[in-house]
Structure 1
Amino acid sequence: MLTGVQIAIIGGDARQLEVIRKLADLDAKISLIGFEQLDFVYSGVTKEKFKDIRFSEMDCVILPITGTADDGKIDLIFSNEEVVLTGDMLAETPPYFTIYTGISNPYLEQIVKKAGRRLVKLFERDDVAIYNSIPTVEGTIMMAIQNTEFTIHGSNVAVLGLGRVGMSVARAFHYLGAKVKVGARKSEHLARITEMGLAPFHLNDLEQEVKDIDICINTVPHLIVNASVIQKMPSHTLILDIASKPGGTDFRYAEKRGIKAMLAPSLPGIVAPKTAGRILGNVLGRLIEEDVLKRKGSSPWM
């Protein structure tokens, strides 16, 4: 239980609604910023303006999955309020204060480090990434079906990267009857691809490996599907880039070649926000109880 824990949830998409519900059920006291367009009837949950938040009384803050912009601005989907998180605000917080975000950036890293506080990047956790790969796979399959004129069964599919998401995507398309090849760099990943019954190739050979593919699914968050790679693809190839923004595809050149290329980060929040929100809510509940609550109880600040 999170009785006595004061949490500020600042912005977010539909996934945050399930996070709010879960943390409210755990008896946390929650201040919502950026949700003025929505109605809530949970005990202990109040909507507030950002300027009215007393950071000195907060035990933790939950940011949107995307964190902050490079200038500290936080995207508020359900509000017209403008919110910027600054280092001075964090300096007011108690020593055990923790910020939870999906992903981070240099600005957020810098102000948290300067304030001497703790930053938890949820999407770097294995449990969150693996759970999230389930709705990500379903969303990728949905997009492939919607944007092609052929079945997944029998099609030639290249998956780039064998991380936690890449592994799940490759396995799912294989089970649907696609001829799946997977590109990776690490020797252990190439060995794992072979063990999975799929065709491995080194990403250094990407240009040669895309000459016969129907669908290219990229999970690598760096420019890997560049102009020279796209130039070798058949004109009917569909590129689905599910890496975090800005993805790893030269979308300008893909458009110039007439190849459909789609950037689709945060698929769980699009195709299954309830499930994705429950995943985050369950993990956050455990983290706050196991870490923040314990650190708060042992802090001389109390």
Structure 2
Amino acid sequence: MGTTVVIGGDRRLSFLAEGLTGYFEKVILYAGTEDEGEKSGVNKYINIEACGADSVAEVMRTADIIIGPVPFSKDGVHVFSEGKEKVRIEDFYRGLREKQVLFGGNIPVEVISEAEKKGVFCRDFLQIEEVETENALTTAEGAVAEAIGLSLNNIHSGKCMVLGYGKCGKAIARLLKAWGIDTTIAARSETALAQAGEEGYGTVLLKDMSDVISGMLFIFNTIPAMVLKEKEIAVLKEDAVIVDIASSPGGTDFAACGRAGIKTVLSLGIPGRYSPKTSAEILLRAILKEREKMVEL
């Protein structure tokens, strides 16, 4: 496994490419961010011309490992990239060959299906336990930073509510609790709420949150379903803020927020934006661990 091709993504993948150069003979970064050489310090960046190739598919066919972005695609047509160059998914397919390993985040089902038909082993970063857990921590930090930047108030001056008690919900809640901030968890599951209660948080069932949400200044949504509707938004304080980190389109009625004058943001890809270097290190550890497993096989 001497050659790795890294395609698209944000600054996180530029840092990842740099880290990979310490473990692989050749690392090719294609369609990365505009500033990868300037800010990430990538020291073995190779472009298509330097490879003597006519297309990204030709470059990909030289690779043992192909690494796509997180998320793999935002529009279902292109491999996601913050750079000017975009790789169409149909062109990406042409670069796949037997015995390659493909990494990416939220890899679409159709991409996995096409890859497996060609004998490519697929590994989704977001289904690796260690990546999920560590990403939740970086996401929590970024979500709280978003809330502070959005609000006119000090985060210690008001109560917070976290919707959902999965990995990201727990990470946000624990960060707030460590700061001594009054935090309430809203969830559908009574089991989740029982756990949250034992850990010292206020709790409320989602269906009943209108009764308490009016007292909140900072609301964090992690649930990928419409949970913050006009009914809940109508009772919020005028200076409340909502940070929604659920998968697009989020779980907030943003139009209702606009009408009510409530500041809100759908904040996606937080690890790549707020801590690209740390996030790259998380992905690098996962890749190396998976490589060890494959060598053992």
TM-score interval, smaller chain = 0.7 to 0.9
CA displacement at 1:240 relative to structure 2? 0.7
CA displacement at 1:140 relative to structure 2? 2.2
Distance between the aligned counterparts of 1:188 and 1:90, measured in 2?
Answer: 47
2:282 to 279, 282, 302: 279
| 3-state SS, counterpart of residue 57 of structure 1 | coil
Distance between the aligned counterparts of 1:77 and 1:91, measured in 2?
Answer: 21
1:31 to 28, 31, 37: 28
Q: CA 1:41 to 1:148, structure 2 compared with 1: closer, same or farther past 3 Å?
A: closer
Q: Counterpart of 1:155?
A: 158
Q: Counterpart of 1:300?
A: none
Q: For each residue in 1:39-80, what CA deviation from the matched residue of structure 2 results, as whole angstroms up to 9, or x when unmatched?
A: 47635x5222643525443222111111024543123323x3
Distance between the aligned counterparts of 1:103 and 1:69, measured in 2?
Answer: 10
| 3-state SS, counterpart of residue 144 of structure 1 | helix
Matched, 1:17 2:14: yes
| 3-state SS, counterpart of residue 156 of structure 2 | coil
Matched, 1:48 2:48: yes
Distance between the aligned counterparts of 2:118 and 2:95, measured in 1?
Answer: 5
Decide whether the 8 Å contact of 1:11 with 1:74 is kept in 2: yes
Distance between the aligned counterparts of 2:237 and 2:92, measured in 1?
Answer: 53
Decide whether the 8 Å contact of 2:56 with 2:95 is kept in 1: no
Structure-1-length-normalised TM-score = 0.85
Q: CA 1:105 to 1:87, structure 2 compared with 1: closer, same or farther past 3 Å?
A: same
Decide whether the 8 Å contact of 1:156 with 1:180 is kept in 2: yes
| 3-state SS, counterpart of residue 211 of structure 1 | helix
Distance between the aligned counterparts of 1:203 and 1:103, measured in 2?
Answer: 27
Pairing of 1:142-221 with structure 2 (within 5 A): 142-221=145-224
| 3-state SS, counterpart of residue 77 of structure 1 | coil
Q: For each residue in 1:134-157, what CA deviation from the matched residue of structure 2 results, as whole angstroms up to 9, or x when unmatched?
A: 322222222222222322224111
Distance between the aligned counterparts of 1:24 and 1:138, measured in 2?
Answer: 28
In structure 1, what residue type is equivalent to 2:58?
Answer: I
Structure-2-length-normalised TM-score = 0.86
| 3-state SS, counterpart of residue 46 of structure 1 | coil
In structure 1, the gaps of 5 or more residues are 296-302
Distance between the aligned counterparts of 1:52 and 1:93, measured in 2?
Answer: 10
In structure 2, the gaps of 5 or more residues are 50-54
Task: Name the % identity.
Answer: 24
Distance between the aligned counterparts of 1:229 and 1:36, measured in 2?
Answer: 39
Distance between the aligned counterparts of 2:145 and 2:74, measured in 1?
Answer: 29
Q: CA 1:69 to 1:261, structure 2 compared with 1: closer, same or farther past 3 Å?
A: closer
Matched, 1:227 2:230: yes
Question: How many residue pairs were aligned?
Answer: 288
Decide whether the 8 Å contact of 2:14 with 2:32 is kept in 1: no
Q: CA 1:126 to 1:51, structure 2 compared with 1: closer, same or farther past 3 Å?
A: closer
Distance between the aligned counterparts of 1:124 and 1:232, measured in 2?
Answer: 37
Q: Counterpart of 2:85?
A: 81
